[in-house]
């Protein structure tokens, strides 16, 4: 469109310049100028101009033979079509005909013959390109008035210009209809007095005619490498669903790539319409793996089944099943349950470990490297809380050897568990489940701990059983469910909570109906302790992540409605809110009903719950308006004052309270307390006066003793009532403050969730987080590092973790601990050397601070997760959101709103295990056996909209499978010896022999 606008501007500039110069000169001078201009034209141009003027003169003459008119029109068309132009100049015929445009328009109005009018309208539509800024859409108007169908002959530039006017005219029509419908509410006759589109010269554009013309233009764009123009045009006329009929085998890839790239930039419901259309195109052209990725992204089970039903090839069915397994999507289809249920995941991962020589177990000291540290830490000093040291080592050992089924610390050492104490024993035993993750042999290792006396050890075994069975379901027998179901109703809260947490981890994303029937009564029972109901709700939410299950949502909301305020003061309420958010993860507008229902909840946390649930629903959309709304919630609010106060006091109160609320100052509280005390003094004085007057009256009527006794009783009752009222006010204020704290915390996380979808949004959110860190109050500052970690999960960018390193030395210990944990999330499973070095330095810095050192050890364990073979990246290369991984991350991040709570309930850190997956490429042959193939692994390159066949990766290294695939990396086969069943090499890939392959000699 740049070329066209430049051409139009040139034509206008020349016309304006000529007319201005001629106006400012005498007739003689003007004639001289005109003569000079004619002299400047070459003979060829002068002849062309003369010929065109003669043809126009012929057309303007009246009462000539129709044949002469048609001949003249045909010659005009020939001149225009045969004209050549440079990239920056208007074609000569259009330039010379521009002054005659008005005359030709009047000729059109005078003529009555249909054929000649149509032919002239065809020409005028092209000439009108040079008058495109008058808002009349003349090119489109004359195109619709002409019955000539051969518009392709006018060339690409004309058709692009026509597409531009179509979109403008269509939008004008939509706005006009909206205005008419709104005015008709007040004036029933509005429809009869409809006015034409502004500037259209009385011509009424019909939406149907515009759409029909667009349908003629789209095939031209697709035929001439203008796929983006075709998609944009269909979007403008709200007809994207009609696109598949025009796409063929040569254009569908570029069309679908462009449509999917547009999705993060579109508002709902257009984003879903684009995904559905791309899905239809892929399915029509038998690109089943791409269609399946879109079906998972849409969360639509019927669409997923349709992909499987589109082929009878059992090998392709297996490939599709491996893709489903990677996303923890449940689907009951034929004999594929063992693949979808991840029963082969442990076998494949151990094969990877063997090929990469990683089978030798590591110990925590291998990553602590304490011998390099000169400072003496709390943990290294003998006798100083070695139990917490051992607990940290248990977590690190569990993360480090995750999935390897052997270690040097705990599996063969029964006494290690007893080197921790209290609840630490629960997490220590559960780490065995982490070592045996995806392998049901771990259940045998944990079985012996079920028969010990210590409650904490037994609880750890139950949690470990859930971790070992994470995501593994063979369909017939669910060993984790059979073992854990008897313990969920145990009277001991530690055992029941561990069993519930184990079920939530084991069945994350499985949509298992047995788990629903087992836990739903517990989630809905408000007579149970709030912790038990919350854990049941959380387990159900993880099991049915992103499904909008109405029964679970009702049970969670009932907890808010039926429990009294005292019960809901606990930290567990945040997880109750999160459970609702996880249920609606990525579901967009479907959350509206729940938001309305939450409006009826009178709990102070209702607003915070609404923020969290809404943010979860619009995860990854990059919706700018939602981010602005969340930022608005984070700005300081002025306090409301009584109308009776004078204006000066009102201003002072507003300014003071707004600043104090934002900076987290205590002055506002002190001021409020002093005002309360003053009020109480006034009330007390008033009470004294009342009692003295009543005393006098009583002396006159009854005996003094009786009156004095009565007076004392009344006075004590009033004081008691005042005390109760004050306590209630303080409680209400405290609840309101805690609700506000959670609202701020959830708003920060919400910004990160929504910005996850696209790279520009991520960059912008990191800038906002920097501002909030500088100007926010203590509660905002605590959450900012966690949000930065969430935006950069498994993507260790130097600028992010260097910023987090600065925050890790903050004066507020909670900010420091959250920053350290966020550093662990940034480098999760990457073995990033720079990050590992920074964490060792932080461990040395906090060697005397137990809690901060514990979090540092956890972060070190995360960075070396699975010895660098695992990831928790929430998006894969096909940009499909992994809801199970995101739900697991959110559970821990919501807990870290209060780091002290998570340090007490450290077993919640194992929620991360449900979101862990290997980051490998494993190639199998058609029989399902691993084979070695050379692949190129490099940085992914964005190829959307690029001409030709550009390279999809850059800076690649050729490796032999199995290989590891980091964040932002992509792989492709080195040669065509094998044909891949999937378009993107990721996870388990099945290869078929290429029958046409010939080895090079």
**What are the residues whose beta carbons fall under 8 Å from the beta carbon of 349, sequence distance 6 or more?**
403, 438, 869, 918, 920
Q: Find tokens 């024993």 and name the residue.
A: 425
49 located within any domain: yes
Q: Residue 271: what are its φ and ψ, rounded to 5°?
A: -65, -40
Q: Find tokens 């089978």 and name the residue.
A: 359
Closest C-alpha among 912, 950, 781, 859 to residue 396? 859
Q: Which residues lie across from 939 on neighbouring strands? A: 954, 969
For residue 962, whether the previous peptide bond is cis, meaning omega lies within 30 degrees of 0, is yes
Mean pLDDT by 10-residue block, N- to C-terminus, for the chain (1001 residues)?
47 46 43 47 81 81 74 80 64 80 83 83 83 74 83 83 88 83 57 39 72 89 89 90 90 91 85 92 92 90 91 91 87 81 90 91 86 57 63 92 89 83 90 92 88 90 93 83 90 92 92 92 90 93 92 90 82 92 90 86 84 92 90 72 41 41 43 43 42 40 46 52 52 62 92 88 90 90 94 91 92 94 94 92 90 93 93 87 93 93 92 93 90 91 83 88 89 89 90 83 55
351 located within any domain: yes
Q: DSSP class of residue 847? A: T
Q: Looking at 166-311, which runs of residues are DSSP E strands?
A: none
Can you list the alpha helix ranges (DSSP code H) found in 469-529?
A: 479-484, 493-506, 513-524
- Cα distance between residue 435 and residue 907, in whole Å: 15
| CA 794 remoteness from chain centre | 16
pLDDT score, position 29: 43
CA torsion sign, 730 to 736 to 739 to 744? Answer: negative
202, burial (CB in 10 Å: exposed 0-12, middle 13-18, buried 19+): exposed
pLDDT score, position 889: 95
562 located within any domain: no
420 located within any domain: yes
129 located within any domain: yes
Supply 273's token pair. 């319409």
DSSP letters, 322-357, are HHHHHTT-----TT-HHHHTTTTHHHHHHHHHHHTT
Instruction: Please tell me the pTM assigned to this model.
Output: 0.82
927 located within any domain: yes
Strands 953-960 and 963-964: unpaired
Domain boundary among 148, 181, 214: 148
Domain boundary among 463, 488, 507: 507
**What are the residues whose beta carbons fall under 8 Å from the beta carbon of 209, sequence distance 6 or more?**
144
pLDDT score, position 568: 81
pLDDT score, position 440: 87
CB atoms within 10 A of CB 739: 18
101 located within any domain: yes
Sheet holding 969-973: strands in order across? 953-960, 934-940, 969-973
275 located within any domain: no
Task: State the residue range of the domain holding 430.
Answer: 342-371+386-507
- Cα distance between residue 91 and residue 112, in whole Å: 30
| CA 888 remoteness from chain centre | 16
Q: What total of structural domains would you count in the chain?
A: 3
- Residue 200 in contact with residue 131, Cβ under 8 Å? no
Domain boundary among 491, 507, 523: 507
- Cα distance between residue 564 and residue 562, in whole Å: 6
- Cα distance between residue 886 and residue 762, in whole Å: 16
CA torsion sign, 935 to 938 to 940 to 943? Answer: negative
Q: Give the CATH number of the domain where residue 349 resides.
A: 1.25.10
């Amino acid at each position: 469109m740049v070329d066209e606008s430049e051409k139009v501007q040139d034509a206008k500039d020349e016309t304006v310049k000529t007319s201005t110069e001629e106006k400012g000169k005498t007739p003689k001078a003007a004639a001289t100028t005109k003569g000079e201009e004619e002299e400047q034209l070459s003979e060829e141009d002068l002849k062309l101009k003369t010929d065109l003027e003669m043809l126009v003169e012929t057309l303007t003459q009246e009462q000539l033979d129709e044949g002469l008119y048609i001949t003249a029109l045909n010659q005009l068309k020939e001149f225009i079509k045969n004209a050549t132009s440079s990239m920056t100049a208007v074609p000569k015929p259009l330039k010379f005909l521009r002054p005659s445009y008005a005359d030709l328009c009047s000729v059109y109005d005078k003529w009555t013959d249909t054929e000649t009018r149509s032919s002239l309208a065809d020409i005028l539509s092209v000439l009108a390109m040079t008058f495109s800024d008058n808002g009349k859409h003349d090119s489109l108007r004359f195109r619709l008035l002409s019955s000539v169908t051969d518009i392709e002959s006018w060339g690409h530039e004309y058709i692009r210009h026509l597409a531009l006017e179509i979109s403008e005219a269509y939008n004008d029509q939509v706005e006009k209809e909206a205005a008419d419908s709104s005015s008709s509410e007040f004036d029933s006759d509005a429809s009869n007095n409809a006015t034409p589109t502004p500037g259209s010269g009385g011509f009424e554009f019909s939406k149907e005619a515009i759409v029909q013309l667009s349908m003629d233009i789209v095939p031209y764009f697709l035929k001439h490498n203008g796929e983006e123009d075709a998609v944009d045009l269909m979007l403008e006329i709200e007809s994207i669903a009609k696109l598949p009929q025009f796409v063929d085998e040569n254009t569908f890839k570029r069309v679908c790539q462009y449509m999917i790239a547009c999705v993060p930039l579109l508002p709902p419901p257009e984003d879903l319409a684009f995904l559905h259309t791309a899905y239809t195109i892929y399915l029509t052209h038998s690109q089943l793996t791409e269609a399946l990725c879109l079906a998972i992204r849409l969360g639509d089970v019927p669409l997923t089944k349709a992909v499987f039903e589109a082929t009878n090839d059992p090998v392709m069915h297996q490939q599709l099943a491996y893709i489903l397994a990677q996303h923890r999507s449940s689907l009951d289809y034929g004999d594929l349950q063992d693949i979808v249920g991840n029963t082969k995941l442990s076998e494949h991962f151990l094969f990877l470990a063997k090929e990469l020589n990683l089978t030798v177990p590591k110990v925590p000291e291998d990553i602590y490297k304490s011998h390099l540290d000169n400072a003496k830490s709390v943990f290294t000093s003998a006798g100083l809380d070695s139990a917490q040291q051992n607990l940290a080592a248990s977590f690190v050992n569990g993360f480090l050897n995750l999935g390897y089924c052997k270690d040097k610390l705990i599996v063969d050492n029964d006494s290690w568990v007893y080197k921790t104490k209290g609840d630490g024993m629960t997490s220590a035993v559960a780490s065995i489940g982490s070592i045996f993750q995806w392998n049901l042999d771990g259940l045998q290792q944990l079985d012996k701990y079920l028969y010990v006396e210590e409650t904490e050890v037994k609880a750890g075994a139950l949690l470990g059983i859930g971790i070992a069975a994470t995501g593994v379901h063979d369909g017939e027998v669910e060993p984790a469910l059979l073992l854990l179901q008897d313990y969920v109703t145990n009277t001991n809260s530690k055992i029941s909570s561990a069993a519930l947490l184990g079920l939530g981890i084991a069945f994350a994303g499985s949509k298992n109906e047995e788990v629903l029937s087992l836990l739903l009564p517990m989630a809905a029972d408000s007579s149970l302790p709030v912790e038990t109901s919350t854990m049941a709700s959380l387990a159900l939410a993880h099991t049915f992540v992103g499904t909008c299950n109405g029964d679970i949502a009702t049970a969670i909301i009932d907890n808010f409605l039926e429990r009294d305020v005292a019960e809901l003061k606990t930290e567990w309420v945040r997880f109750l809110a999160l459970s609702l958010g996880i249920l609606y993860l990525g579901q967009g507008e479907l959350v509206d009903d729940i938001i309305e229902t939450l409006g009826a909840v009178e709990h102070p946390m209702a607003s915070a719950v609404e923020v969290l649930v809404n943010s979860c629903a619009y995860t990854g959309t990059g919706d700018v308006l939602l981010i602005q709304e969340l930022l608005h919630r984070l700005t300081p609010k002025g306090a409301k004052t009584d109308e009776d106060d004078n204006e000066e006091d009102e201003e002072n109160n507003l300014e003071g309270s707004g600043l104090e609320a934002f900076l987290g100052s205590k002055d506002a509280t002190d001021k409020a307390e002093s005002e309360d005390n003053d009020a109480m003094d006034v009330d007390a004085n008033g009470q004294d006066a009342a009692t003295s007057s009543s005393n006098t009256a009583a002396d006159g009527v009854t005996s003094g003793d009786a009156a004095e006794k009565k007076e004392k009783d009344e006075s004590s009752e009033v004081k008691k009532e005042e005390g109760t009222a004050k306590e209630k006010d303080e409680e209400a204020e405290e609840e309101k403050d805690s609700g506000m704290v959670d609202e701020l915390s959830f708003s920060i996380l919400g910004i990160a969730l929504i910005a996850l979808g696209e790279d520009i949004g991520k960059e912008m959110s990191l800038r906002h987080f920097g501002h909030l860190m500088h100007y926010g109050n203590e509660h905002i500052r605590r959450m900012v590092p966690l949000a930065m970690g969430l935006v950069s999960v498994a993507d260790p960018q130097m600028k992010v973790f260097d910023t987090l390193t600065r925050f890790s030395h903050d004066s507020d210990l909670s900010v420091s601990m959250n920053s350290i944990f966020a550093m662990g999330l940034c480098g999760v499973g990457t073995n990033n050397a720079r990050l590992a070095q920074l964490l060792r330095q932080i461990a040395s810095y906090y060697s005397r601070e137990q809690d901060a050192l514990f979090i540092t050890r956890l972060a070190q364990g995360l960075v070396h997760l699975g010895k660098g073979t695992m990831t928790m990246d929430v998006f894969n290369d096909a940009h499909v959101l992994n809801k199970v991984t995101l739900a697991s991350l959110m559970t821990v991040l919501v807990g870290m709103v209060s780091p002290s709570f998570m340090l007490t309930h450290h077993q919640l850190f194992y929620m991360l295990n449900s979101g862990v997956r290997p980051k490998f490429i494993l190639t199998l042959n058609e029989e399902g056996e691993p084979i070695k193939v050379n692949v190129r692994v490099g940085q992914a390159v964005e190829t959307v909209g690029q001409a030709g066949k550009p390279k999809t990766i850059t800076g690649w290294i050729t490796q032999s499978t199995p290989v590891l695939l980091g964040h932002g990396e992509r792989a492709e086969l080195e040669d065509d010896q094998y044909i891949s069943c999937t378009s993107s090499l990721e996870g388990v890939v099945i290869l078929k022999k290429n029958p046409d392959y010939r080895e090079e000699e």
